[in-house]
Structure 1
């Protein structure tokens, strides 16, 4: 067999050194890669050493060290990002015009809730929250998200079950939202979910599709009834106060007239008493004075004289014109 003078010969010792060096470099690279992790401003990190929690969560942003090769493991939790759970519907795309996907069977079953008066309401709602305790959120409950969804359904059914269908569909929505939020926060604190509720929104509340048309007819009739009642009340408020004002004015005028008549009568009575007192002192003189005053009033003439014509006849006169016309003003 011929020898090949140009054949490359590898020293086994050098090869071993190269392999060991490559492994060492690889281990160093892996060690460096698994020794650092990054925490963003909106995140908190939890570090586990051999699966056991090491202490306080890491809240400072930037690069952080941990033991390599899987000795330490970290989990990142977003704590300032608003998260949302939807019930009875799902958002297909959010934006300027939010689009909602068609409901599946599970969503329809979730949204149908029995009210306190044994009607059924189709309730779609969403719950917005943030994680305020990363450790509790990850480790206090086996699955915090599923537990929180179950709490939502239970609380919403409890609150709506205490109200009538009219309250749920009309005036009671804001109260329901607040009650559900308060109850959910209390349960989240009790189970240490590490969640802070921000808002509960009743997205849409309707009667079920099978009775929606009939319900709308009833609702429209009730609205028309309320409108007519309000119109009648407005007319009542406009007419009745005016009538009461007119009645009060007439009553006051009548009272004033009565007072005037009484005062006039009282004055006449006082005058008569004075005349009678004078008459008792000098009957003949008083009688003549009254007679002359009366005759003077009767025979008063002049341009301003008003009343019936006054004619005096002289019974002893024998001429053709036995009268004195007192209405000519002296002419």
Structure 2
């Protein structure tokens, strides 16, 4: 038996390494080397200390109860809570066994089981082309901030367009863990934030490489964001990354610094062209209806004149027919009446001189008082 129940060091004759000190000594010929630790003495002292702690008479049954209590405490340590914004992933011996929702849950404690908690409702922000400055203390970083501040990263932002120009594109990606597939986020990708950034840069380069720089700077800016978001989501789904892209914000699209002034002049000219076109269209929309309204008014007046003239002509014809019918009944009387009416219309407004018929013995000139000329003085004194 290698150890003595009575404790104490072995004598030199029982030393397996001989009298030269063995592995703790100075080697052969060293003399006076350090002696190895006495394990029997250590075990004896440990037993005496345990007997002093445990009550007297503590035997095998008490030891079993102690083991059971220890096992129960170990099992109870497996309870854990999941926050309202989290999902828990249960692992048994490092293998995924299921996910748990918010609240109190249980899994076998370590070293058998473990739990990974993921904040699935928190929104994460990935910036491409620049590094945002550290937020001021007490102020949270807003995912929707559309101003690119901080050090630039030209190795990320400079992209080649389809017409072989260079565009400086800075954008932001807002994403979160997919609540339906948090296990993919935890186990399928080694570094999800870095993967999201690499996929975002690749997707944006592909879209920019298929477009012309003038369209990117003007009309196609609003089309790039949804196209990049859709392409990113497709690639991340193919990776089974468990990432859900919420929004892509295109912060700035500029040409390189050496030619930015010329591009801005071109952009301003295009905006002026569009503005003048809108003004011309507005003028046409105002003038054309006015001209159409004037034309319609002229046509309506002509139509009314025609209807009036035709109606008057028909009235005159009908009157003539009525007069002709009366003329056939009394020709002489009708001729006299027509003569009198005609003279009345002709001489109604002329100066008149009345001559008496000399054959009837009257004066040659009959006195005539122009009574209408005195009309203003009727009822007053001259």
TM range (shorter): 0.7 to 0.9
1:62-211 superposed matches below 5 A:
66=108, 68=110, 75-94=116-135, 95=139, 100-103=149-152, 107-132=153-178, 133-211=181-259
Q: Which residue pairs with 1:17 in the alignment?
A: 47
The answer to whether 1:44 aligns with 2:88 is yes
Conserved? CA contact 1:129–1:198, under 8 Å: yes
Aligned residues, how many?
299
SS at structure 1 position matched to 2:310: helix
Query: CA offsets, 1:289-312, max 9 Å, x none?
Result: 322333455566xxxxxx232334
1:273 & 1:216 partners in 2: Cα distance? 85
1:96 & 1:193 partners in 2: Cα distance? 27
1:48 & 1:19 partners in 2: Cα distance? 37
**CA, structure 1 residues 170+315, in 2 after alignment: closer, same or farther (shift >3 Å)?**
same
- Any stretches of 5+ residues in structure 1 without a counterpart? 1-10, 23-27, 301-306
2:291 & 2:258 partners in 1: Cα distance? 51
2:322 & 2:226 partners in 1: Cα distance? 86
Conserved? CA contact 2:87–2:99, under 8 Å: no
2:206 & 2:333 partners in 1: Cα distance? 107
State the shift of 1:226 in Å.
Answer: 2.7
1:244 to 285, 288, 292: 292
Q: CA RMSD in A?
A: 3.8
The TM-score, its normalising length taken from structure 1, stands at 0.73
1:176 & 1:327 partners in 2: Cα distance? 97
SS at structure 2 position matched to 1:269: helix
The TM-score, its normalising length taken from structure 2, stands at 0.64
Q: Which residue pairs with 1:7 in the alignment?
A: none
SS at structure 2 position matched to 1:184: helix
Name the stretch that deviates more: 270-279 or 74-83. Answer: 74-83
Query: CA offsets, 1:276-300, max 9 Å, x none?
Result: 3332343333222322333455566
Structure with bigger strand share is 1
Please say which structure displays the higher CA radius of gyration. Answer: 2
> Highest relative contact order (Cα 8 Å, sep 6+), 1 or 2?
1
1:324 & 1:96 partners in 2: Cα distance? 116
- Any stretches of 5+ residues in structure 2 without a counterpart? 1-39, 54-69, 375-382
Q: Which residue pairs with 2:342 in the alignment?
A: 294
Name the stretch that deviates more: 72-81 or 274-283. Answer: 72-81
SS at structure 2 position matched to 1:202: strand
Conserved? CA contact 2:92–2:108, under 8 Å: no
1:215 to 263, 287, 311: 263
State the shift of 1:239 in Å.
Answer: 3.6
